[in-house]
Amino acid sequence: MRTAKASSLALMIAAALGTAGCTDDSNKTTSKVTAQPTAAEAKAFLDASQKELTKLQHPASQAAWAYQTYINQDTAAVAAYLGEKLSSRATEIAKESAKFNNVELDAASRRMLDGLRYSLTLPAPSDAEKSERLAQIGTQMEGMYGSGRYCREDGTCWGLTDMANMMANERDADLLLEAWKGWREVSPPMKDLYVEQAEIANQGAQELGFKDISELWRGGYDMPADDFEQELDRLWGQVKPFYDALHCHVRAKLGETYGTDIVAQDEPIPAHLLGNMWAQTWSNIYDVAKPEQEMQVVDVTKALEEKGYDEIKMVKGAEAFFTSLGFEPLPETFWERSQFTQPADRDVVCHASAWNLDSVDDLRIKMCIQKTGEEFAVIHHELGHNFYQRAYNKQPMFFQGSANDGFHEAIGDTIALSVTPKYLKRIGLIEEIPDASNDIGMLLRTAMDKIAFVPFGLLVDKWRWAVFSGKVKPEDYNQYWWELREQYQGVKAPVERPADAFDPGAKYHIPGNTPYTRYFLAHILQFQFHRELCKIAGDEGPVHRCSIAGSKEAGEALNNMLMMGASKPWQEALEVLTGTQQMDATAILDYFAPLKAWLDEQNQDRQCGW
């Protein structure tokens, strides 16, 4: 997933709060709190905390940038030291904020305090030994994942990158099964650690006033925790009929490719055949499922080359998208300080990310840009993060973030949805827009990426919430994981899995303790945002062909929402742009309407469902 990285203090703290730690008592600015705290003391606490964390954040984010763009022992040590200082203090402040849980406050102050509590991903209990143990477990599991290897009988060993490439490109079912099983040998040793981690973190959550981690995670969305889970199921219910049609077509094509003895046409799809180690996206097997008729596809990579685009011109082109909406150009420092290409003289982190180092105007992107059409869309996505970061930089520090954790990713993806043939013609990259008969291929590939992901984006945290709450016991962890995979995705384990397999741990976000619901929300919201912006822009064509480029009206509407940051409940931010406080997945159905009609034709004589 593309990310807004160290983008603002609020976002950096949210990342930092995943781990607990201790620091000495020097240079702390916390306000003195009486046995019965008052509203004035709560406000003084918030003011002091913001000042202190702002002072810690800037050098920590500078060090993190230096490390990621110049990897060596020294930059690693400095980044780790300053990051730990920020992380530890932010964790302490978030825990201290619980003292004001029952104080009557104005809405803004209460929102800041609640935001601090909810941003603790795995709160450490006050017991020092348990706190230290919680940090050790997190580090140990991440290390186990990062160093994971599968070694074959002939002595050759594969890392995750090797096996992920194999899953994407190989069509030998036996080799795919070997890679799938091989990677899942990494996770069983994590299981006991994961059980212990949940027990300790639940104690920390209880000290903050929550029943368990499940309530903490589900409760940070401006609505009661149980209501939020029901809201996710409602959204999934809107998407499911379209997903079922996509599943039916892909399963049929896989049956033709591998045989119905391997891909039974009335059962879930074996997880190793979908082109991805976790079967979360399916676009890598587009060649298996694509339409038989010849499609005229815009070759953006070739167009970039023919028009003389280098890496900087690609970024300038993406910036021009935003200025056409009425946004101010990026500051000169963006061009001086960003990493656009991979340096020849040093190691760097190439994963694309967008940064705001000082929470004001020190905007940057970090990429190793390839001159491809895909990367051109990614640049638009990353700048979407940057323009969001700048839009809310006038907010108090604790409100410098997105309305909920799905909004930031959704904004980047919304912008990328406007990189259509219509937009490419507008900027002179292509001369003709292919007619609508060519849209099915594009829509199918997009659906195999975005819509195939939706149920997976939902079930990862559903599994964790059940684990954290104790609804599912350790002996049933793996069984429940596959029950959810079959229920929501229609995907099954290709071979029988033992109870202690701990297959959830083979997905980074489980041992890395990164909440996952944000990705589900982003996949819903991006289409809702795009549909509404297209209406505001006055585009009367099919929504999947729309680009909002050049519409000052759409730009103003978008910016009005972005400027709010996290200052108001997400429902109010959503209403500013869309006119409704309810997330609505019917925008997905509108976007993919031609594909749904095509899929229904393909599926006429097939048995769908599982």
Bridge partners, 366 (sequence order): 339, 353
- Give the three-state DSSP class for 131: helix
Which pLDDT value is given to residue 15?
47
Joined tokens for residue 400: 């410098």
Q: Would you give the distance in Å from CA 173 to the centre of its chain?
A: 30
Which pLDDT value is given to residue 11?
52
pLDDT interval class at 10 (50, 70, 90): low
pLDDT interval class at 21 (50, 70, 90): very low
Rounded to an integer, what distance in angstroms lies between the CA atom of residue 208 and that of residue 485? 32
Q: Sort residue 152 into left (φ over 0), alpha (ψ -120 to 50) or beta.
A: beta
Residue the block writes with tokens 């003195």: 32
> Percentage of residues in the chain with pLDDT exceeding 70?
94
In DSSP notation, 315-373 reads: HHHHHHHHHHTTPPPPPHHHHHH-B-S--SSS----S-EEEETTSSS-EEEE----SSH
Average pLDDT for residues 401-408, to the nearest whole number? Answer: 93
- What is the domain extent for residue 433? 300-449+525-573
Which pLDDT value is given to residue 70?
92
Question: In the predicted model, is pLDDT for residue 168 greater than 50?
Answer: yes
In a domain, 306, yes or no: yes
In a domain, 427, yes or no: yes
Give the number of domains in the chain.
1
* DSSP letter assigned to residue 488: I
Between 233 and 89, whose confidence is greater? 233
Which pLDDT value is given to residue 541?
93
Q: How buried is residue 502: exposed, middle or buried, by Cβ count under 10 Å (0-12/13-18/19+)?
A: buried
Which pLDDT value is given to residue 17?
41
Question: In the predicted model, is pLDDT for residue 429 greater than 50?
Answer: yes
Rounded to an integer, what distance in angstroms lies between the CA atom of residue 244 and that of residue 255? 16
pLDDT interval class at 19 (50, 70, 90): very low
Average pLDDT for residues 438-443, to the nearest whole number? Answer: 92
Rounded to an integer, what distance in angstroms lies between the CA atom of residue 357 and that of residue 9? 8
Which pLDDT value is given to residue 23?
31
pLDDT interval class at 120 (50, 70, 90): confident
**Interval 413-423: pLDDT, tens:** 999 999 999 99
Average pLDDT for residues 82-105, to the nearest whole number? Answer: 88
Average pLDDT for residues 116-145, to the nearest whole number? Answer: 88
Rounded to an integer, what distance in angstroms lies between the CA atom of residue 77 and that of residue 82? 9
Joined tokens for residue 351: 């994963």
Which pLDDT value is given to residue 350?
86
pLDDT interval class at 92 (50, 70, 90): confident
In a domain, 319, yes or no: yes
pLDDT interval class at 24 (50, 70, 90): very low
Angle formed at CA 39 by CA 113 and CA 226, multiple of 5 degrees: 40
Joined tokens for residue 187: 């996770």
Rounded to an integer, what distance in angstroms lies between the CA atom of residue 267 and that of residue 265? 6
Which pLDDT value is given to residue 29?
41
Question: In the predicted model, is pLDDT for residue 6 greater than 80?
Answer: no
Q: Please, what is the average pLDDT of the chain?
A: 91
In a domain, 590, yes or no: no
| Sign of the torsion angle spanned by Cα atoms 272, 278, 282, 283 | negative
Average pLDDT for residues 262-289, to the nearest whole number? Answer: 96
- Give the three-state DSSP class for 234: helix
Average pLDDT for residues 342-362, to the nearest whole number? Answer: 90
Which pLDDT value is given to residue 246?
98
Joined tokens for residue 459: 């079930």
Secondary structure of 139-199 in HEC code, one letter for each residue: HHHHHHHHCCCEECCCCCEECHHHHHHHHHHCCCHHHHHHHHHHHCCCCHHHHHHHHHHHH
Q: For the beta carbon of residue 24, count every other beta carbon within 10 angstroms.
A: 7
In a domain, 383, yes or no: yes
In a domain, 466, yes or no: no
Least Cα distance to 596 among 246, 124, 94, 212 occurs for 246
No. of helices (H) and no. of strands (E), the chain: 25, 7
Bridge partners, 3 (sequence order): 353
pLDDT interval class at 22 (50, 70, 90): very low
Active-site residues: which are they? Answer: 351-352, 381-382, 385, 409, 509, 519
Q: Are strands 150-151 and 157-158 parallel, antiparallel or unpaired?
A: antiparallel
pLDDT interval class at 85 (50, 70, 90): confident
Q: How buried is residue 36: exposed, middle or buried, by Cβ count under 10 Å (0-12/13-18/19+)?
A: exposed
321 neighbors 376 (Cβ within 8 angstroms) = no
Which pLDDT value is given to residue 147?
85
> Which residues contact residue 600 at a Cβ distance below 8 angstroms, ignoring those fewer than 6 apart?
245
Q: For the beta carbon of residue 3, count every other beta carbon within 10 angstroms.
A: 18
Average pLDDT for residues 82-111, to the nearest whole number? Answer: 89
Q: Would you give the distance in Å from CA 115 to the centre of its chain?
A: 19
Rounded to an integer, what distance in angstroms lies between the CA atom of residue 111 and that of residue 23? 27
Which pLDDT value is given to residue 324?
97
Average pLDDT for residues 334-361, to the nearest whole number? Answer: 92
Q: Which of 13-17, 57-61, 150-154, 161-165 has the lowest mean pLDDT?
A: 13-17
**Interval 519-559: pLDDT, tens:** 999 999 999 999 999 999 999 999 999 999 999 999 999 99
Angle formed at CA 469 by CA 464 and CA 473, multiple of 5 degrees: 80
pLDDT interval class at 18 (50, 70, 90): very low
In a domain, 107, yes or no: no
In a domain, 501, yes or no: no
* Highest mean pLDDT: which range of 90-94, 247-251, 511-515: 247-251
Q: Would you give the distance in Å from CA 274 to the centre of its chain?
A: 21
Q: How buried is residue 267: exposed, middle or buried, by Cβ count under 10 Å (0-12/13-18/19+)?
A: middle
Question: C-alpha distances in angstroms, 152 versus 146, 157, 570?
Answer: 19, 6, 49
- Give the three-state DSSP class for 239: helix
Q: How many alpha carbons fall within 13 Å on the CB side of residue 139?
A: 10
> Which residues contact residue 40 at a Cβ distance below 8 angstroms, ignoring those fewer than 6 apart?
none
Bridge partners, 213 (sequence order): none
Which pLDDT value is given to residue 119?
83
Rounded to an integer, what distance in angstroms lies between the CA atom of residue 205 and that of residue 185? 31
**Interval 449-469: pLDDT, tens:** 999 999 999 999 999 999 999
Beta strands in 404-561 (DSSP E): 491-492
